[in-house]
Amino acid sequence: MSKDPRRPPRRPTIRDVAQRAGVSFKTVSRVVNGEGGVSPELVTRVRAAVAELGYRRDPAASILRRGDARTNTIGVVLDDLANPFSAALHRAVVDVVRPRGVVVLSASSDEDAVEEQEAFAAFAERRVDGVVLMPTGTDHGWLEAERAAGAEIITVDRPAPGFDADCVLADNRDGAARATAHLLRRGHRRIAFLGDVSHTYTANERLAGYRDSLDDADVEFDDSLVRMGPQGSEAARETVIDLLTGPAPPTAIFTSQNLMTIGAVRALRQLGLHHEVALIGFDDVELADMLDPAITVVAQSPVEIGTTAAKLLLRRLDGDSSPRGTQVVPTRLIPRGSGEIAPLVRR
């Protein structure tokens, strides 16, 4: 009748099994852990009792007594588990650690420092062996305590400000520079830049790459062409419309994130300018190659980033104590059409 939290029926313990099998509980322990040194006859009896009672060893008690702090669990905290980039990275991590008997706890931070820390704390409380973290842009000094408490930490996509950790990321600056140079080579001089909120590491790196190429080409940096901060594809769409309907519109657009690329595509369509204004996006997007024009992108390898990070984490857990460092996973410019549109003199 009542709806109070169901008190689960007590699970059978090692002693229940022992009694049923008519042996000491230590014998059961031996069988359950495959320690050997038990007569086949008893093994059979114990196995039977285990099956009949549906006995399962309590891993908490086991670990407690054994004293090895390993839970064979790691955590993954990404900005958004539903974003294709993060989802691919996430899956790659899971796939790498699974054969080692390691399971993965997952959470999204939404680029919010509080959410991030809460997720991390929830994982740390459960004594994860390590965490793969996509850190927000805030100071991460608090991670020192987490490390001291025993968690290995690998950051992905960006370094953690104020904390020295292994890091696996894309060559953001170089990739952005190549994309920008690609547009400059076609003659574009007014290239808009759309970036994440300005405290984001990747946004800044990509912006830096954009500026690198402008400098190389002696094109003056124009602040009015840079828009940092639109969140999600809808905000990006509005921003692009604003840029293109403004007084001095760009002839090309560089969107530094996948959702922004989608927003830009929508805006260009809406204004009927998709064949006139060039577009290059950072991070590939599903079906980008099927659009008209197909979208030129700087493709990242989320799978490679995730795989690399996971392997590195496992190595650290195995005791590798070589100096911490950063691994850069290369990006690839994929020309598909939208990035090869020549500048149009509009009036």
Partner DNA sequence: CTGAAAGCGCTAACAT
Partner DNA sequence: ATGTTAGCGCTTTCAG
Q: Which residues bind a second copy (CB under 8 A)?
A: 2-9, 11, 54, 56, 58-61, 63-64, 68-69, 71, 73, 80-84, 87-88, 90-91, 94-95, 98, 101, 103-108, 119, 122-127, 145, 148-150, 262, 265-266, 269, 285-288, 290-292, 317-321
Residue 279 · residue 296 · CB < 8 Å: yes
* Under rule CB under 7 A, residue 71 binds DNA: no
Residue 39's binding partner out of DNA, a second copy, none, with CB under 5 to 8 Å set by partner kind: DNA
* Under rule CB under 7 A, residue 10 binds DNA: yes
Residue 186's binding partner out of DNA, a second copy, none, with CB under 5 to 8 Å set by partner kind: none
Tokens of 332: 């690839």
Residue 321 · residue 284 · CB < 8 Å: no
Residue 328 · residue 300 · CB < 8 Å: no
d(Cα 187, Cα 181) in Å, to the nearest integer?
A: 10
Query: Which one of residues 34, 67, 247, 323 is an interface residue with DNA (CB under 7 A)?
Result: 67
Query: Which one of residues 48, 51, 52, 66 is an interface residue with DNA (CB under 7 A)?
Result: 66
* Under rule CB under 7 A, residue 19 binds DNA: no
Amino acid present at 239 = T
* Under rule CB under 7 A, residue 7 binds DNA: no
SS3 call for 122: helix
Q: How many CB atoms lie within 10 A of CB 109?
A: 22
Q: What's the first-to-final CA gap in the chain, in angstroms?
A: 76
* Under rule CB under 7 A, residue 142 binds DNA: no
Nearer Cβ to a second copy, position 118 or 164? 118
- Least spacing, CB of residue 110 vs DNA, in Å: 31
d(Cα 130, Cα 102) in Å, to the nearest integer?
A: 10
Binding mask 170-209 for DNA (x = CB under 7 A): ----------------------------------------
Q: Which one of the spans 50-58, 188-196, 213-221, 254-262 is the region binding DNA (CB under 7 A)?
A: 50-58
* Under rule CB under 7 A, residue 125 binds DNA: no
- Label residues 184-221 b or e (16+ Cβ within 10 Å = b): beeebebbbbbbbeeebbbbbbbbebbbbbbeeeebee
Whether omega for the bond prior to residue 99 falls within 30 degrees of 0, making it cis, is no
* Under rule CB under 7 A, residue 39 binds DNA: yes
- Least spacing, CB of residue 12 vs DNA, in Å: 8
* Under rule CB under 7 A, residue 38 binds DNA: yes
* Under rule CB under 7 A, residue 24 binds DNA: yes
Beta strands in 125-251 (DSSP E): 130-133, 152-156, 166-170, 191-195, 226-228
Residue 233 · residue 255 · CB < 8 Å: no
- Least spacing, CB of residue 47 vs DNA, in Å: 13
* Under rule CB under 7 A, residue 42 binds DNA: yes
d(Cα 311, Cα 96) in Å, to the nearest integer?
A: 7
Nearer Cβ to a second copy, position 184 or 299? 299
- Least spacing, CB of residue 43 vs a second copy, in Å: 21
Amino acid present at 42 = L
d(Cα 180, Cα 175) in Å, to the nearest integer?
A: 9
Residue 49's binding partner out of DNA, a second copy, none, with CB under 5 to 8 Å set by partner kind: none
CB half-sphere exposure, 195, CA atoms < 13 A: 25
- Residues lying near DNA in the complex (CB under 7 A): 10-11, 13-15, 23-27, 29-30, 32-33, 37-39, 41-42, 55-58, 61-62, 64-67
